[in-house]
Structure 1
């Protein structure tokens, strides 16, 4: 029987990498995104019927309910959810200029979205003893100036993950991934050329390079696999070692 995953924010970036990785591994993958054009293009690129694009906004409970319902109608079951959708740019400007509307929109998409998807997916995941992976960020652990809204949502994701793991276990496992610098420029649904990163960009990482969407996709695939049945409630940092590196200005 086919395993079925739902990936939010799956048309571009890390989400796109996860969609393609899971499909190549034999999963049937439904994915949602607010970018209808790029999402439909990705779904149309599938060789068979392994991909299903469902447009929608994870900050809308009506959209989320429909996306989960249509995923199960399409595939007959649901084995895994990857809560990847989010507003990616971390900078919000000086906190004294940050509007409540901007703050709230980040929370709605980055934190409330995963809650809503989980809420509606749980009955189906219980039936399959499935798994959830939430996408946090190393910015839950460290910060640059003027990133309060983004950092708050990603810190919330880490806490939401362990709370859900305790509430939903043992039937459903819940983990999260905190990516560092992942070069998604070639994965944004744009066929344009991408300038290579510099040697300095790569060598500042203890691992020797900047991350790729494939690095995150392979970790997500492991966490929803039978090989990870003893792992739940954890935050996996995938950043080439950067959060373990002391950095001081010269």
Structure 2
């Protein structure tokens, strides 16, 4: 089935990570023009550059307001044209177990800045540039945020992460879906909430049976998601052909998991 993404400019933030790089490859296979964002690690993206002419990369610290503004200025003037679809995929999950009672304000501020404030900045600048875009771009407009099942169920010893994702999944998604239509009448905003996904960011934690055991025990499908499982849902929600009447939704991709036992 044609998802209607051919030559649509898609920005994927955090594209060097496990979910990000699979999402980039999938959009490229669907004919999209893809900008892959990274902060410090460009290697996975560079490894694709020789194979895909419809791929460009951009570096930015998304917690910096000026860096996000500069990134969108650069992209709007690129040969791909203004961004039509943005996948807000970047974020941090600190592997150390720290309950809220022992959490420092430094850790809290770092996680909120990296996960939530940066997502606000990306969405805001995307919408500002969308205002000036042609109707052909506005007709394809979509934001796909990447939340987490932790945003619904919480996550002991990782409250900073869970809270940042909860705010994104509910407050941000639900507000933006009502605001984007003032700029792009067909614009849509949705969120995907993965459970545990076998990515490099959490692989060390998953190697601990004390982590992976309870997670699998609470998952009816008895398996962890792979990055492509998440990428497939991102592509579906990005498509105005498939999901043109879907907005303000949080789609859980967690094998039926209801939190850890």
- TM-score with structure 1 length normalisation? 0.85
Indicate how the Cα distance of structure 1 residues 58 and 122 shifts in structure 2: closer, same or farther if over 3 A, else same.
Answer: same
- TM-score with structure 2 length normalisation? 0.82
* 1:185 match: secondary structure: coil
Partner of 1:219: 233
1:19-44: CA deviation from partner (whole Å, max 9, x where unpaired): 11111111111021112442552453
Q: What is the rounded CA distance, in whole Å, between the counterparts of 2:65 and 2:97 in structure 1? A: 25
Partner of 2:59: 55
1:147-188: CA deviation from partner (whole Å, max 9, x where unpaired): 111011001101201111011123421000000011123999
Match 1:231 to one of 246, 250, 253: 246
Gap regions ≥5 residues in structure 2: 1-5
Partner of 1:111: 116
Backbone CA RMSD of aligned residues: 2.7
Indicate how the Cα distance of structure 1 residues 223 and 174 shifts in structure 2: closer, same or farther if over 3 A, else same.
Answer: same
Q: What is the rounded CA distance, in whole Å, between the counterparts of 2:223 and 2:53 in structure 1? A: 35
Q: CA deviation at 1:96?
A: 2.8
Partner of 1:15: 20
Spell out the pairing of 1:236-247 with structure 2 (5 A cutoff).
Answer: 236-243=251-258
Match 1:5 to one of 10, 16, 19: 10
* 2:67 match: secondary structure: helix
The count of aligned residue pairs is 238
Gap regions ≥5 residues in structure 1: 189-194
Q: What is the rounded CA distance, in whole Å, between the counterparts of 1:61 and 1:92 in structure 2? A: 30
| More displaced stretch, 69-78 vs 172-181 | 69-78
Q: Is the 8 A contact 1:86 1:109 kept in 2?
A: yes
Spell out the pairing of 1:61-210 with structure 2 (5 A cutoff).
Answer: 61-74=65-78, 75-89=80-94, 91-126=96-131, 127=133, 128-129=137-138, 130-158=141-169, 159-169=171-181, 170-185=185-200, 205-210=219-224
